């Protein structure tokens, strides 16, 4: 019978905050509950039914009590709400210098990819003391990546990137669980995160890799012939991708969109969804050809492209070459 912890370890920057809020709640609600139990037992014993105490004396406790236990709980609860929200904001605000790691959930295993190219299954090596941002999507059903000792969790949705970040403050090997029921061996979809000293982490990184994620992405960029349309000098049939990440660009139909992970993914898998303004919808769909890992590599490559400093005209105003072939796009008849 191994030792059984009654309280989880704190191994992340946000863990003390969550535990603080948790213990505050335990104390406050515990006190109120204890008060109620004691009062009940005291009344149950003091005013128990005896021959001389057959009918209750109709004295009422003061009516002001009613107001107090309506307003007081409301104030306490709003306080709890505010405390909970502050911690929640801290969990949602991803620091800008975070180490980017990509995760893919698929039925009953976790796959992690580091920017330097390492690929791991059900294991994640991270440096201690540095914020790590995990961008994740699922290949099939909904999973949920949960690091109990870091007190962070987020559902991993199919077809949509979501992020989760933590900053490990303690080295060691800790649990990774899937928290959203996902089928037969949902309980087998577990793993461990290994938090290492930065030096050990560098040594682990150096061990065997086939080039950084971005470099792998570049190979795929050529393999899928993306470079025939997406040229850097803005003369290609597709928009220039260099330096586009994070910018806001207009799309057909007047709206504009922030170029983030989800937009890149959607433009690869369903290019017709949001077409960059001034361009023809000629890009074929890559749905089913590009795997989740390749998507992550391509995205890492696109994000790594530096904004072009050359004198070429800024990408937005470049005039697209009229496309040779006439496309039989169903033009909308209704104005």
Partner 1 sequence: MATSHNPDHVDHIGHAPAHHRSSLLSYFAVFMTLMVLTVVTVWVSRINLGDLNTPVAMAIAIVKATVVILWFMHVIHSPRMTWIVVISSFLWLAVMFVLFFADYMTRGWPLS
Partner 2 sequence: MTSTTIDDAPHIEPSPSTQERRNYLNDEYGVLSWLLTKDHKRIAILYLFSVTIFFFVGGIFAFLMRLELLTPEGDMFTSDTYNKLFTLHGVVMIFFFLIPAIPAVMGNFILPIMLGAKDLAFPKINLASWYIYIIGGTFGIIVIITGGVDTGWTFYTPYSTQFSNTKVFATTLGAFITGFSSILTGLNFLVTIHRMRAPGLTWFRLPLFVWSMYATSVVIMLATPVLAITLVMLMVERVLHVGIFDPALGGDPVLYQHMFWFYSHPAVYIMILPGMAIISECVAAFTRKKVFGYKFVAFSSLAIAFLGFLVWAHHLFVAGISVYAALVFSFLTMLVAVPSAIKVFNWTATMYKASVSWNTPMLYVLGFIGLFTIGGVTGLFLGALGVDVHVHDSYFVVAHFHYIMVGGTIMAYMAGLHYWWPKITGRMYPEWWARLSALLVFVGFNLTFFPQFLVGYVGMPRRYHAYAPEFQVLNVLSTAGATVLAMGYLLPMVYFAWSLKFGRKAGSNPWGAVGLEWATTSPPPKENFHETPVVTWEAYDYPAFLKAMKETQHV
Partner 3 sequence: MSDVTLHHGAEHAAEPHKHGHHHPFLQHHFEDLGQQHEASTLGMWFFVAQEILFFGGAFCAYFVYRAMYHDAWKLGSHHQDWKIGAANTIVLIGSSLTMALAVWGAQGARRKFTTLMLVLTLILGGIFVGVKGYEYSVHIHHGLFPGAQTYTNVESAPELTRGVELFMTFYFTMTGLHALHMVIGAGLLLWFIKRTWRGDFGPEYYGPVEIMGLYWHFVDIVWIFLFPLLYLV
CA angle 128, 129, 134 (to 5 degrees): 75
Contact partner, 332, from partner 1, partner 2, partner 3, none, Cβ < 5-8 Å per class: partner 3
* Cα gap 301→295, rounded to integer Å: 10
Contact partner, 335, from partner 2, partner 3, partner 1, none, Cβ < 5-8 Å per class: partner 1
Nearest to 302 by CA among 250, 260, 272, 269: 260
Return the residues of window 278-307 that contact partner 3 according to CB under 8 A: 281, 285
What mask of x and - would describe binding to partner 2 in positions 53 to 92, judged by CB under 8 A? xxxxxxxxx-x-xx--xx--xx--xx-xx-xxxxxxx-xx
Residue 315, CB half-sphere, CA atoms under 13 Å: how many? Answer: 25
Return the residues of window 263-282 that contact partner 3 according to CB under 8 A: 270-273, 281
In angstroms, give the least distance from the CB of 265 to partner 2.
12
In angstroms, give the least distance from the CB of 129 to partner 2.
21
* Cα gap 121→112, rounded to integer Å: 6
Are the CB atoms for 321 and 235 separated by under 8 Å? yes
In angstroms, give the least distance from the CB of 163 to partner 3.
21
- Pick between residue 4 and residue 335 the one whose CB is nearest to partner 2: 4
Are the CB atoms for 141 and 153 separated by under 8 Å? no
N residues, the chain: 335
Bridge-based pairing state of the strands 256-258 and 248-250: antiparallel
Contact partner, 37, from partner 2, partner 3, partner 1, none, Cβ < 5-8 Å per class: partner 2
Q: Report if residue 148 touches partner 2, rule: CB under 8 A.
A: yes
Contact partner, 173, from partner 3, partner 2, partner 1, none, Cβ < 5-8 Å per class: none
Q: Report if residue 258 touches partner 2, rule: CB under 8 A.
A: no
Nearest to 147 by CA among 160, 158, 136: 136
Q: Per DSSP, which regions of 223-327 are E strands?
A: 248-250, 256-258
Return the residues of window 161-220 that contact partner 2 according to CB under 8 A: 162, 175, 177-188, 190
Binding site for partner 1 (CB under 8 A): 89, 92-93, 258, 335
Residue 321 CA, distance from chain mean position = 39
Return the residues of window 311-330 that contact partner 3 according to CB under 8 A: 327-330
Are the CB atoms for 187 and 176 separated by under 8 Å? no
Binding site for partner 3 (CB under 8 A): 253, 270-273, 281, 285, 327-330, 332-334
């Amino acid at each position: 019978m191994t030792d059984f912890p009654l309280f989880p370890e704190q191994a992340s920057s946000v863990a003390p905050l969550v535990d603080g809020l948790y213990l505050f709640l335990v104390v406050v609600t515990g006190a109120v509950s204890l008060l109620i139990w004691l009062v009940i037992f005291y009344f149950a014993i003091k005013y128990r039914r005896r021959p001389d105490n057959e009918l209750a004396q109709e004295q009422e406790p003061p009516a002001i009590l009613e107001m107090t236990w309506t307003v007081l709980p409301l104030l306490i609860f709003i306080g709890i709400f505010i405390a909970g929200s502050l911690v929640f904001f801290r969990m949602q605000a991803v620091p800008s210098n975070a180490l980017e790691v990509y995760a893919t959930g698929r039925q009953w295993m976790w796959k992690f990819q580091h920017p330097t190219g390492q690929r791991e299954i059900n294991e994640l090596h991270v440096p201690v003391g540095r914020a790590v941002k995990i961008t994740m999507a699922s290949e099939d059903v909904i999973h949920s990546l949960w690091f109990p000792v870091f007190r962070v969790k987020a559902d991993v949705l199919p077809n949509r990137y979501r992020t989760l970040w933590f900053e490990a403050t303690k080295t060691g090997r800790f649990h990774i669980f899937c928290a959203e029921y996902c089928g037969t061996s949902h309980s087998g979809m577990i793993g461990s995160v290994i938090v290492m000293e930065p030096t050990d982490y560098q040594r682990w990184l150096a061990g065997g890799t086939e080039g950084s994620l971005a470099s792998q992405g570049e190979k795929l960029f050529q393999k899928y012939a993306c470079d025939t349309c997406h040229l850097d000098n803005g003369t290609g049939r597709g928009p220039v991708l260099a330096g586009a990440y994070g910018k806001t660009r207009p799309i057909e139909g007047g709206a504009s969109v922030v170029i983030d992970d989800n937009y890149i993914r959607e433009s690869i898998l369903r290019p017709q969804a949001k077409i960059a303004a001034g361009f023809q919808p000629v890009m074929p769909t890559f749905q089913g050809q590009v795997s989740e890992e390749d998507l992550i590599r391509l995205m890492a490559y696109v994000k790594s492209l530096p904004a072009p400093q050359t004198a070429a005209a800024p990408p937005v105003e470049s005039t697209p070459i009229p496309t040779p072939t006439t496309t039989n796009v169903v033009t909308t008849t209704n104005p």
